[in-house]
Amino acid sequence: MPKGGHHHLHLTAAAPIDFLIELTYDSRVSYNMRDNIFKVDKTAEDSGYISCNELRNFHATADEFDSMLKEKILLTKEEIKSQESECIWDIFQYKFLMTNDLYNYAPFFEKIVMKIFEICVAENIFICELRHIFGFVFDDDRQSLPVENELKIFHKCVQKMKAQHGLFDCKIIACGLKALGKDHCQKEIDDTHEAFTLEDYKYLVAGYDMVNEEDTTPPIEDFAQMIMDAQEKQEEEFPCFFHAGESDFSCNTNLYDALLLGTKRIGHGFNIALHPKLVEYVIREGICLEVCPISNFVLAYTLDLRNHPARALINQGLNISLNSDDPGFYGYSGVSLDYAFALLSWELGVADLKQLALNGINFSSLDAETKVAHLEKFEEDWNTFIKTFIAKN
């Protein structure tokens, strides 16, 4: 089924598990079994790190070692059995630290970006918007790549996809990690400003966001002055796409501040169901929620997707898009599984599915002319899909 666009996908949690395991066969990859962390090109100071290929020799088979790695990388049933978001997040957050080198070593990074794009196209998605943190991609000397060099990698991958498929677009939403504090978030803001000045690559950049678990990290309010300063500094618009309302607590204020700061879309946002006036405002202003049903279930924000707030919000007229958030740690790839769960849990019809897919285009960060091109392609693909579906049934 054509799915329009993917709005909410964290790059460092998007690669399929088998693809990550393939990377560990590279001779430069080592693993610390005590700390459960991968390292690329370890140094003499990196005690405890042993080549993954050497470690495979200590197991009965390579598959046995690989299965162990998969168990460590994936968020397992055992790790989420508490059904308490904060407890799960403690485990979940470590997955990013564990796989950081696999995702951010520049040659691997490029392969992963291409793999993500290929998965999108295989699922009939031609707009991919990625959350990305500048400054973590490193070269053979473990030096961080400049912003321009990171964007060159994205540009190279996008051009390959365009050459193969004609129409394909990617947008980067730069992210600050609230858990690392204001200095880090300010650096990400500065990097976003820099990206907007790079004439050849600024087309890739959608805007700015801040991430991490909402209930245990500082609220958007604490960073509001930085955001307002950034918006004033930027000669053109400084768009924001804030994570907000990924919480079950009614006292969470992030939705209010995200909207006051002019967020273009809301990442997750299901908490808005507790604030009827905000629902009215978001509907009136035409702001889309980037809903990630499976992620919300795995992280225990909803224990039954039939009761997910998005079901009622759609009926009230609020626009949402379906997204997968961190599928690489949940054991799947793409966004088709999220569509399948939403279809079954929310009792959606064909018209609902089409509207969700259209929202992926209409509420993307692309310019109006490019959206038109995607809408035209979508209608062709949708008609083909319906005809094929009818023929098979």
CATH of the domain at 231: 3.20.20.140
Q: Residues 41, 111: one domain?
A: no
Nearest Cα neighbor of 9 from 357, 377, 380, 334 is 334
Looking at the domain assignment, is residue 157 inside a domain? yes
Q: Residues 274, 378: one domain?
A: yes
Report pLDDT for 46: 82
Q: Residues 118, 63: one domain?
A: no
Contacts of residue 254, Cβ cutoff 8 Å, sequence gap at least 6 = 214, 219, 220, 221, 242, 243, 244, 245, 247
Would you say the C-alpha torsion 150, 151, 157, 159 has a positive or negative sign? negative
| Beta carbons of 75 and 92 less than 8 angstroms apart | yes
Q: Residues 37, 110: one domain?
A: no
DSSP annotation of 372: H
Q: Residues 69, 89: one domain?
A: no
Looking at the domain assignment, is residue 392 inside a domain? no
What three-state secondary structure class fits 9? strand
Amino acid 104 reads: N
Q: Can you tell me the distance from the alpha carbon of 212 to that of 229, in angstroms, rounded to the nearest whole number?
A: 22
Token pair for 364: 């993307």
Q: Residues 296, 365: one domain?
A: yes
Q: Residues 50, 152: one domain?
A: no
Report pLDDT for 44: 67
Residue ranges of the chain with per-residue pLDDT less than 70: 44
Q: Residues 98, 56: one domain?
A: no
Looking at the domain assignment, is residue 181 inside a domain? yes
Report pLDDT for 392: 87
Number of structural domains, the chain?
Answer: 2
For the chain, give the number of residues. 393
Task: Write out the residue range of the structural domain in which residue 38 sits.
Answer: 29-73
DSSP annotation of 39: E
Looking at the domain assignment, is residue 391 inside a domain? no
Looking at the domain assignment, is residue 344 inside a domain? yes
Tally Cβ neighbours within 10 Å of residue 250.
Answer: 10
Report pLDDT for 236: 77
Does pTM top 0.75 for this prediction? yes
Q: Residues 316, 206: one domain?
A: yes
Q: Residues 57, 202: one domain?
A: no
Looking at the domain assignment, is residue 387 inside a domain? no
Q: Residues 64, 92: one domain?
A: no
pLDDT tens-place string over residues 273-318: 999 999 999 999 999 999 999 999 999 999 999 999 999 999 999 9
Q: Residues 53, 184: one domain?
A: no
